[in-house]
Structure formats: structure tokens, C-alpha cells
Amino acid sequence: MMKKRTLISLAFCFLPLASNFSCVQKFQTFQMPRPYAVEKIAGQAKQERPKNIILMVGDGMSLATMYTAWTANQGHLNIENCQYVGLAKTTSANRLITDSAAAGTAFATGRKTDNGHVGVDADEKPQASILEIAKQHGLAAGLVVTCNILDATPAVFVAKKGDRHQWSDIASQYVAGDVDFVCGGGWSNFKNGKDGRDLTKELAGKGYQLPRTVEELEKISKGKVFALIADDNLPKPKERGEALSRAAMKAIELLSKNDQGFFMMIEGSMIDDGGHDNDLDRLMNEVHDFDRTIGKVLQWAAKDGGTLVVVTADHETGGWTLLGGDITSGKVKGKFSTDDHSGVMVPVYSFGPKAEVFTGIFENTDLFNKMLAAYGFGTK
Ligand SMILES: [Zn+2]
């Protein structure tokens, strides 16, 4: 998500008297009440190529964020079980500092595009996403997020739109699309579609089951799912509990019934909000929720042996810097430098068959190329 407070902050920075005060950020501290357990997960690829790919995106997550979350959890994170690490460059077609729409389009379709564009290149030409290509090859596909499903990162896999904020059009494109499993927020948008359309009814007409809670979702044992479990974004981690990992594991259960394999994107969507809001507590709770989900996914993938898991971010948000703390007590202390995105390469962690190709320094568009090649579909 992107907020438009940067201009206001900048305006304050240029006021002569207010400048020093408003531009110097305050220290923030965080300590977890209880660290969570992290298991060693040994991955053994049982086949040369992955049958399934699970792409996990921490929206706005940086190396500094991860290291802070690692310190706060007293020196443990599930993501450390990933066998390989690389770095992806994140510039968009028209900006040094990308937004989620352009970054998502880059790794979903292999094309750099302008900020704000969803699933289209810089000339607004629609581009096929890895999810759609996987479907064309007979695979199942899923999207599991904690934000409104119409937000940029999930939307880039399904929608084609020059403006990420045209949510009613993006909603219609989901209905016209063919994703087997969707879970996130956005019930109000689908219920109150453009021109009086009730898109929830249209989805039901297309054979989708529409559970409204994680509990209802967990009762489903087969078929297509469109779970809009919040009116808009899901609530904060303390209120939503383990919704992300529960939905992700249900998605894996259902999608893995397809003999051809599956593609799925799981997003820790609101790590970005912690950065935009300069809220360390929120940032840490969101990263830890995402990391616990990574742990569950890696455990499943290790057992499966034919699943490639790639964990990355679209960009950094908040310019977070860890400036002190202590691993034994899990206390962390640091500062934010912006309420917007910042420019930095993002880490790429990988696990499972073909994980080794996600090493080195590459463009975010190469994530698409590498995933496609890992499946054996060839590159475009
Ligand atoms: Zn953002």
C-alpha cells in the first residue's frame, strides 16, 4: 500500500524552523513478549525440477527489517532455513524507487513497467503473468494475502490495468480470471461492484465457494475457493491471529490435489504498512507473522520434495535502521528515515528444487524468468 504523506513531510522539512525537529526521527524500541520456536528444516529436493512453486512476498520487507525481526526473536527466524540467497534490483521503468504495482508486475510478468501499472508494460500492453502461464500448462493457481485482494501485489498476477487504483475494474478481472484459490480481504468491493453488480454472486455462479472466515475456509475439502475474509484489509496480526498461515496451508492442501502441480503467491502484505506508518511494533508483528507462515510452508515443502519456495520483497518501506538491541532479551532499537519506499536491492531466499538459480545479483524481472525456467516452461 502507498500513502501520500511524503509531500507533507517534505514540506515540513523545508520550513526553516521546523526542519531539524520534524526530519529527525525518534528512536523506537520493541521487545517480543514471547519469542516463537524455530525448527531446523532440511530440504531434500526429490526431483530435478519443481512441480510446484510458492512465491512468498514480504511487501516492504528489507534485510534490515529481517535482521531486526531475527534479533527480536532472540536470534531465530524460519527464513534461515532457505538454502540459497540472492539480491534483486527493484527500479521500475520510470522511477528509481518502485511501488508495489511496478515491482509486482516485474516479478509476475518479467516486464519492467511504470509505477502504478498492474500487469501491463510501460506502454500499457497487457502481459501474461506466471500464474496465468502456469494455468495454461494445466497447473492450479492460488493467491493468499493479508490485504485487500484488489491491492497491487496480488492484482498483478490477474489484472491488466494502467492504474492500480481502478479497483472495480480489477475486481471484474478477478471474476473473469481463473484463479483456483483466492484468500484475502475485499468483500465490500466485490459485493458492491461497478454499476450495481454483485460480484460475489457472479463468483458463486462460476462455481467458487465463498467462505467469510478462516474457520469456514478450513472446512472446505475440495473445489474452487474465493475467500474474502475481511471487508477491506485484514485486521492487524494480534486480531487476525494465524489467518495467513492457516489460509496458506489450506491453499496448499487444495492446490496440491492437482497432479500437474501448482503456482501460488503468498503475501505478508502489511509489513509495508508498518513501514509507512513508522510503527515498529506493527512492522515486527507483521514480519513475525510472515516468518511463521514461511516456517509452515517450508516444512510442507521439505516433506514434499518437489516444491520450490522463493521468498522475497518488492521494495523496502520506511528506511528502517537497527541501531541497537540485544539478542538475549530480544530488545531492538532503531529509527525510520521515511514514511515511503526507499531504494535498495531486496533479498531473495530460495528452498527446494532449482533453488540454486536464485543466487547472485539480478533484476526483479529475472524472478519471473527464473521461475518459468525452473518449471521448464522456457522464457519469453
Ligand atoms: Zn508501500
pLDDT digits (tens, 9 = 90+) for 110-124: 999 999 999 999 999
Distance 234 CA to ligand 1 centre (A): 16
- pLDDT confidence tier of residue 379, bands split at 50, 70 and 90: low
Query: Is it the case that residue 18 has pLDDT exceeding 80?
Result: no
* Residue range of the domain that includes 148: 49-375
Closest to 120 in 3D by CA, of 148, 89, 151, 158: 158
Domain with residue 56: its CATH number is: 3.40.720.10
Q: Which residue, chain included where needed, has cell 508483528? A: 285
Q: Is residue 330 part of a domain?
A: yes
- As for how many domains the chain has, the answer is 1
Query: Is it the case that residue 365 has pLDDT exceeding 50?
Result: yes
Q: Is residue 35 part of a domain?
A: no
Closest to 308 in 3D by CA, of 339, 257, 350: 350
Q: Is residue 324 part of a domain?
A: yes
As beta bridge partners, residue 309 has 54, 351
Q: Is residue 309 part of a domain?
A: yes
Distance 314 CA to ligand 1 centre (A): 9
Q: Is residue 18 part of a domain?
A: no
Q: Is residue 10 part of a domain?
A: no
- pLDDT value of residue 19: 41
Distance 58 CA to ligand 1 centre (A): 11
Q: Is residue 214 part of a domain?
A: yes
The C-alpha torsion from 156 through 158 and 162 to 168, rounded to 10°, is: -120
Active site residues: 100
Q: Is residue 24 part of a domain?
A: no
40 CB burial (10 A radius; 0-12, 13-18, 19+): exposed
Distance 227 CA to ligand 1 centre (A): 24
Distance 155 CA to ligand 1 centre (A): 15
> What is the pTM assigned to this prediction?
0.94
- pLDDT value of residue 25: 78
